[in-house]
Structures are given as structure tokens and as C-alpha cells.
Amino acid sequence: MLNPQVMVVGAGPAGMSAALAAADCGVKVLLVDFFSEPGGQLVKQTHKFFGSRGEHAGVRGIEIARLLGEKVRTHLGVELLLDTQVLGYYPDGVLTMERTVDGESEYLKARPRRLVVCAGASEKPLAFPGNDLPGVYGAGAVQTLMNVHGVMPGRRAVMVGAGNIGLIISYQLRQARVEVAAVVEAAPVIGGYAVHASKIRRLGVPILTSHSVKEAHGERELEGVTVWRVDERWQGIPGSERHFEADVLCLAVGLSPLAELLWQAGCRMAYVPELGGHVPWHDEHQQTSVPGIFVAGDAAGVEEASSAMVTGRMAGLAAAASLGSCPHYRELAGEARAQLEALRAGPPGEKIRKGLARLEEVARRAG
Amino acid sequence: MRIGEHPILTFPARRKVTFFFEGRPLEGYEGEPIAAALHAAGIRVLRESPVLGRPRGFFCAVGNCSSCLMVVDGVPNVRVCVEKLREGMHVERQVGKGDLLGAVAAKRGVLRAGGRGGEGGA
Ligand SMILES: Cc1cc2nc3c(=O)[nH]c(=O)nc-3n(C[C@H](O)[C@H](O)[C@H](O)COP(=O)(O)OP(=O)(O)OC[C@H]3O[C@@H](n4cnc5c(N)ncnc54)[C@H](O)[C@@H]3O)c2cc1C
Ligand code: FES
């Protein structure tokens, strides 16, 4: 049985920031990740990040992963456990884990005094006939295959979703020499930033707004995709169909928080579409409704890497403070809060602000 | 297909290994996910679904969705999108749910008390 003072689940930008913040307060931290490298989503982001300068905006995601990864590997207060999946949370506060080394797995347990969950988010599926055919993938899966493992997903792709993720991965498909037949987006406007949209338009990739997938075709694998125009209620309009030959269909239609461990721990959850679905209620110290359990990054509500780093730092500081190890908590947490407010300001932050307000409202109604 | 030249990324040289897909020898890189090696060899159908027998490939590539379950060295329900490739592995398409208890018993050399077939669900 491992007995760390603080255990952090997930070594993405949120988890690494949480671990570093707590360890800087002199607390012993166990940082666990399923993957073989720290970095989370960042290990496959080859583009330069948007966000705030303090959180490495303008630097490629893979570089940020390397910078933070180096820090967690060398910090004496952080024990990094990779290739280890956290499986469950039990009522006595014990977490179970499976660690795989050279094909052999071992079973581990930990009872930390404080828990910080930074498990990130998972991709949402989309319902249409043929959506289970091999070749229909989450956009992030295609990105992992290309950018982490160096394998081409296919020859010709259709992307569903013109948010930043759909646009960025369309560009990355082209960098891997995969043709992109079209990007389809059910909303009447492109959701992602104009810079990303114009980059792929310059490559001659059409972005079809007010369009969605009608059907995916293929015998044993994907061979083609029929898309159609949708009305303002996102219902398909018969007669407007267009067919694309494609062996890859990428779904970039949103993420939802990975919060299983928090459900298991009995944390209060609320359904908030602006934050990606069911999200754990948390206070401004990133603490959930269960004292001693904190949440940060996309697991607390789908946002971005910059804010993931700041909420992670906040959670790490708060966990350390609750153990009596962070004498300057007020000041440090105040700085983090100001950073978050700046990140969430203006039109781009509107959705998040609405989501957080709704989270409070749902929680209040539930009592 | 492997990505050759890439404007930003370089893929470090890794050790080539031989493994077997449905008995057929294939090459892949040691330590990469089995699904990546299969995909690079053009194999995208990884299993058949338990009820309708429909072909399935991977979906999430990070171990979250269970779309990619295969039989690896006799053990069913292995998520090949995260299971690392090793020399000499035997990988089979999974049909149905897979008989995990039978596989564990067989691995331990224990004779199964009859009755339960090797084939999984419907
Ligand atoms: C294509 C794309 C482009 C993006 N571009 C930008 C951008 O330009 N700027 C920006 O700010 N943001 C961007 N983002 C968003 C950003 O990557 C995420 O918001 C950020 O990575 C979230 O950080 P996180 O630490 O919460 O989660 P993640 O980065 O998802 O990390 C979660 C980690 O937890 C681990 N984990 C999960 N469950 C378990 C478990 N049970 N046991 C052990 N480990 C577990 C996972 O392996 C993973 O490493 C982009 C995202 C994508 C997909
Ligand atoms: S593809 Fe989702 S678990 Fe393997």
C-alpha cells in the first residue's frame, strides 16, 4: 500500500502543474499516468498553442509537454508512476491501480491523504448509420496514431466538426500527407479560430457549415461518407446529399470530462453542456463536494491547456494548504485566480463563464 | 502506412520485431501499440461485435472505449490500442465476447472443468 500525502491522477498539463505546486510546498506527491510519457493531450499537439504567455502560449504543445515533463521527472518531491492506470476508488479511500512493465502487469494500491483528479476528457461519439465501421475514429485517436506513433490513418479523410480540434487535426492530416476531402460542421458558423480555418482553406479544403453526416458506407471498412445539409434544428434536408469517397472519418464533436473516479467517490455531479456534459461540482479552490478530493483541468469541465495548468496549480496548492503545508496559500491562490479570470475574460471565455455559473446554479438547486 | 517525412515531427528509430496476425508473420516496432502496427500493415478490422457480428476497428486509441478488443497470446479482451507490441506475439481477431476465464485457466495449465465453450457471446 502506497501512502502519499497527495496523489494526482493524470500527468497532463493539469496534473503536472498540480503535482509541482504541491511538491513546491514540501508535500510528497505521487503522480500517476496510464501513458508511457507525461504530457496528456500535449504529447500530440504539434501546433503552437494559444492561451496566455505565462502558460507557454506560442510554444508547440509537444514542447510544453517536454518542459513540464522534465520538471516532474526531476522534482524530488514528485514520484512519477507511468504505464499505470488507476482503476477504482473505494469507500475506505483506497485507489487501485494496474501497472504494466514489459508485458507483465502488477496490481497496486494507494491510500493518499489528498486526491487530485486530472484525468482529462474523452471524445464524444456521434450517432449515424455505419458509425461503427473501422475507419470511423475519434479525431484525437487519429492524431495519436499519426503524431505519436507515426502511422497514417488512411489516404482520404472527412472531418466532422469545425471547432479548433477539427480544424487543427485537419491541418495535421495534411502534414502527414493524408488528403482531406471536406470538413463538415452542423452549426451555421465555424466554431474554431479564424487562423486555423484559413490555414486549411488555403490548402483547398472546403468547410461545409450547416452540414452533418447522413451515413457512413462500407462493406468491412469505411469506403465513403454521405453528408447532407441540416436545418436550424440540425435535421437533415433530403435532396441535399453529397457523397465523398473516404477511408477515414474523424469525429471532432466535443469532449466530455473523464470523471469516473469522482462518481465512484460520491462527488456531486451536475449536467452542464457548456463544460462538456456531467461535471463534478467544485469550489474556487478546485475542491469537490467530498472534502480532500480535488479536480482540475478538462476533468473539471472541458476548457484549454492554459486554464488546465492554472486550475491544476490551484488544486495542488489547495491540497497542500489543507495539509497545513502552504503558508502563503492566500497570496498564491489569489494570483492563480486572477490568471484564470484573465483567461476566461472576453468573448472566447463566454461559454466557460456561462458553464461555471450554471454549475453553481445546478448545485444550489440540488441543495 | 508509415509516415515518412514530416514537417515538424521526427520519429525515433525503433527495433523491428516480427509478430503474428492470424498466423501470418508481420513486422512492427517494439513497444508501439499493437493497433498501430496492424494499421501500418493495412489491417483495420480488429474484431467482430458480439451480437450482430459487425466488424470493429479502434475508436479512441487511448484505452477508453473498448472498441479494439483482440485475442493476444490466447488472452481475449486485450485493448490493442494501448497494449505494447513485443517480439513473437500472436494476435487474433476476437469474435464475440471472449472467454477470459478459460484463457486464464489455459495459461496456467489448468484443465477446465468441462461445459463452457471457448467461444464467447452470441
Ligand atoms: C487537437 C487539439 C488541439 C488543442 N489545442 C490547444 C491549444 O492550442 N491551446 C490550448 O490551450 N489547448 C489546446 N487543446 C486543449 C488541451 O490539450 C487540453 O485542454 C488539455 O490537455 C487538458 O489538460 P488535462 O491535464 O486536463 O488533461 P489531458 O491533457 O487530457 O491529460 C489527462 C491525462 O490523464 C491520464 N489519465 C486519464 N485517466 C487515467 C487513469 N484512470 N489512470 C491514469 N491516468 C489517467 C491520461 O493518460 C492523460 O495523460 C487542444 C486539444 C486538442 C485535442
Ligand atoms: S480504441 Fe478505445 S480502447 Fe482501444
At A110-155, the pLDDT tens digits run: 999 999 999 999 999 999 999 999 999 999 999 999 999 999 999 9
User: A339 CA distance to ligand 2 centroid (A)?
Assistant: 36
Could you tell me if the CB of A33 is within 6 A of ligand 1? yes
Global confidence as pTM? 0.93
Say whether B57 and A145 touch across the interface (CB within 8 A).
no
The span from the CA of A112 to the CA of B89, in Å, is: 37
Nearest CA to ligand 1 atom 21: A41
What would the mean pLDDT of A279-298 be, rounded to a whole number?
Answer: 97
Q: Judge whether residue B109 has pLDDT over 70.
A: no
Residues in chain B: 122
CA of B81, closest atom in ligand 2: 4
CA of A17, closest atom in ligand 1: 25
Residues in chain A: 367
Mean pLDDT of the residues in chain B: 87
Confidence of residue A263 (pLDDT cuts 50, 70, 90): very high
Q: Which of A58-67, A90-99, A289-298, A311-320 has the lowest mean pLDDT?
A: A58-67
Q: Which three cell numbers stand for residue B32?
A: 508501439
What is the ipTM for the molecules in this complex? 0.91
pLDDT at B114: 44
Q: Judge whether residue B119 has pLDDT over 70.
A: no
User: B80 CA distance to ligand 2 centroid (A)?
Assistant: 7
Provide the strand spans (E) within chain A: 6-9, 29-32, 78-81, 84-89, 95-101, 104-110, 114-117, 121-123, 136-138, 156-160, 179-185, 207-209, 211-217, 224-229, 242-245, 248-251, 255-257, 269-272, 277-280, 293-295
pLDDT > 70: percent of chain A: 100
Q: Which three cell numbers stand for residue A230?
A: 441540416
CA of B66, closest atom in ligand 2: 3
Q: Which three cell numbers stand for residue A75?
A: 522534482
A59-68 residue pLDDT tens: 999 999 999 9
Q: Looking at the CA of A138, name the nearest ligand.
A: 2
What would the mean pLDDT of A173-187 be, rounded to a whole number?
Answer: 97
| Beta-strand pair B47-48/A114-117 | unpaired
Q: How many CB pairs under 8 A join A and B?
A: 89
The span from the CA of A298 to the CA of A191, in Å, is: 19
Q: Looking at the CA of A315, name the nearest ligand.
A: 1
Say whether A141 and B82 touch across the interface (CB within 8 A).
no
